[in-house]
Chain A
């Protein structure tokens, strides 16, 4: 039990990554503050699982870009499950948007959903963690904090902004005993559709651009999150952990591992 008694706040619990994280971290003794866009409806199975193993949960649906709502969530949850020990920010909105033609509204939607929410959540969790001189913040980000998408510039811009937030917070909150790290997740099944591009060939044959030709899943993400949330990572601060099987290193297409016959 590597997270015994720790209170973990997941900011987008309804997402596939969020659901995987709940199950994995619950099994390690975590309790949860879950921000759920569906107000818990989409989490029936996960909440039942948590009840079954005795993992306390507080479920809410707040606007993560509004400090007052976020503070309210954490204050209420402090009563029922305890003060937040681990913030996992995993909001990850992707909307196709070109530089030349994109409209302002979806640009701001993506920037706010991914980056402004990260900022407001970091302030709220950071204040509480700094007061206790202890805590961990993990941003679930993407290889697109560095690699352009050719399909959603607003997305990669927002991911890169979060990368700098993490580095800043690692300094400022690091002085108060808080570690702040980023996971740069690589492709999972379906990302060729999510990032379908007329400009970039990045996701062509994406299964095989991973050197071992095995695509990762949200379970791989959960393993990395667990490590960063646990006490085993106390000297890791301000780091970016790329979890992509080596995908972004691909270069010589003709050397790719051949598709396996199933």
Chain B
């Protein structure tokens, strides 16, 4: 599963799952544009770039607020200018406010939707021209198990992830004719704070975890990153419009 010569853009790559995806893509040879929110500290993104360097890859930092189409478009041009195109988009930057039904209001609804849904869509719009020109594209959208199962802690978050589910299906049937695939990953609980808690440490210290996670542990960003790399590969050419749940089986409990 080599991604040598491919160019990837990962949104929200300064932390968590996005960092894991960016590093794994680079490890397989992709050049990676590391997006983080403009105005935020670049500390996390610099760390991602350093890890990409350690893995022998090449990184480019591209700050942009994905709730703003102009910033998205500037980001995409910058990536294409530097790396000569865009082959892989990982839509990952998302907001989760953890407000309940009655804590939310119209403004917090908009804040989550403008990043999690409108942002995903407009990032797709921004990269499609580059993918069309090569008749190749891999778009991976980070959904969530909460696109199907409610959170019970943030209804707008799950509404946005439900929306992502259909954005992926619509994009898959619309963009397929240009060799562009669009798929969703639905992660369950991922322990995403860096530095990562080693799996064996978690297994040893939390025997109760097995009641919620059949494998006895939560996910790690690299778990998700490995799946991103498969979906982004040439081998996954026939995978389109799919949603892949990656949660260690926890949603079956």
Give residues in A with beta carbon < 8 Å to B.
65-67, 98-100, 102, 104, 107-108, 111, 115-116, 119-120, 122-123, 126-127, 144-150, 153, 156-165, 167-173, 199-200
Instruction: List, in ascending order, chain A residues with CB within 8 A of B173's CB.
Output: 148, 150, 199-200
A164 & B106 in contact (Cβ 8 Å cutoff): no
Give residues in B with beta carbon < 8 Å to A.
69, 100-102, 104-106, 109-110, 113, 117-118, 121-122, 124-125, 128, 146-152, 155-156, 158-163, 165-167, 169-175, 241
B166 & A119 in contact (Cβ 8 Å cutoff): no
Given contacts A123-B104, A153-B167, A164-B162, 6 further A-B contacts (CB under 8 A): A65-B106, A104-B122, A116-B113, A127-B102, A153-B166, A200-B173
Instruction: List, in ascending order, chain B residues with CB within 8 A of A160's CB.
Output: 147, 162-163, 165-166
Chain B CB within 10 A, most for which of A98, A102, A115, A122 = A115
Contact sample, A vs B, 8 pairs, CB 8 Å cutoff? A65-B106, A67-B105, A99-B124, A99-B174, A111-B117, A145-B162, A147-B169, A157-B167
Q: How far is it, in angstroms, between the C-alpha of A98 and the C-alpha of B148 when the chains are bound?
A: 24
Closest 8 CB pairs of A and B: A164-B162, A153-B170, A168-B155, A161-B159, A160-B166, A156-B166, A160-B162, A148-B169
In the complex, number of A-B residue pairs with CB atoms less than 8 Å apart: 132
A161 & B170 in contact (Cβ 8 Å cutoff): no
With contacts A119-B155, A145-B166 taken as known, whether A107 is within 8 angstroms of B121 at the C-beta atoms is yes
CB B234 to nearest CB in A, in angstroms, measures 23
Q: How far is it, in angstroms, between the C-alpha of A153 and the C-alpha of B124 when the chains are bound?
A: 13
B170 & A164 in contact (Cβ 8 Å cutoff): no
Would you call the interface of chain B mostly helix, strand, loop, or mixed?
A: helix
A173 & B169 in contact (Cβ 8 Å cutoff): no
A161 & B160 in contact (Cβ 8 Å cutoff): yes
Instruction: List, in ascending order, chain A residues with CB within 8 A of B171's CB.
Output: 99, 153
B125 & A111 in contact (Cβ 8 Å cutoff): no
Candidates B100, B104, B159, B175; contact of A99 at CB < 8 Å? B175
Instruction: List, in ascending order, chain B residues with CB within 8 A of A200's CB.
Output: 173
Q: How far is it, in angstroms, between the C-alpha of A194 and the C-alpha of B147 when the chains are bound?
A: 26
Instruction: List, in ascending order, chain B residues with CB within 8 A of A156's CB.
Output: 166, 169-170
B150 & A164 in contact (Cβ 8 Å cutoff): yes
With contacts A107-B121, A116-B106, A157-B163 taken as known, whether A172 is within 8 angstroms of B101 at the C-beta atoms is yes
A116 & B118 in contact (Cβ 8 Å cutoff): no
CB B137 to nearest CB in A, in angstroms, measures 11
A157 & B101 in contact (Cβ 8 Å cutoff): no
CB A30 to nearest CB in B, in angstroms, measures 26
Q: How far is it, in angstroms, between the C-alpha of A171 and the C-alpha of B128 when the chains are bound?
A: 39
Instruction: List, in ascending order, chain A residues with CB within 8 A of B118's CB.
Output: 104, 107-108, 111
Instruction: List, in ascending order, chain A residues with CB within 8 A of B174's CB.
Output: 98-100, 150, 153, 199
Q: Name A170's closest neighbour in chain B (CB-CB).
A: B150
Instruction: List, in ascending order, chain B residues with CB within 8 A of A164's CB.
Output: 146-148, 150, 155, 158-159, 161-162
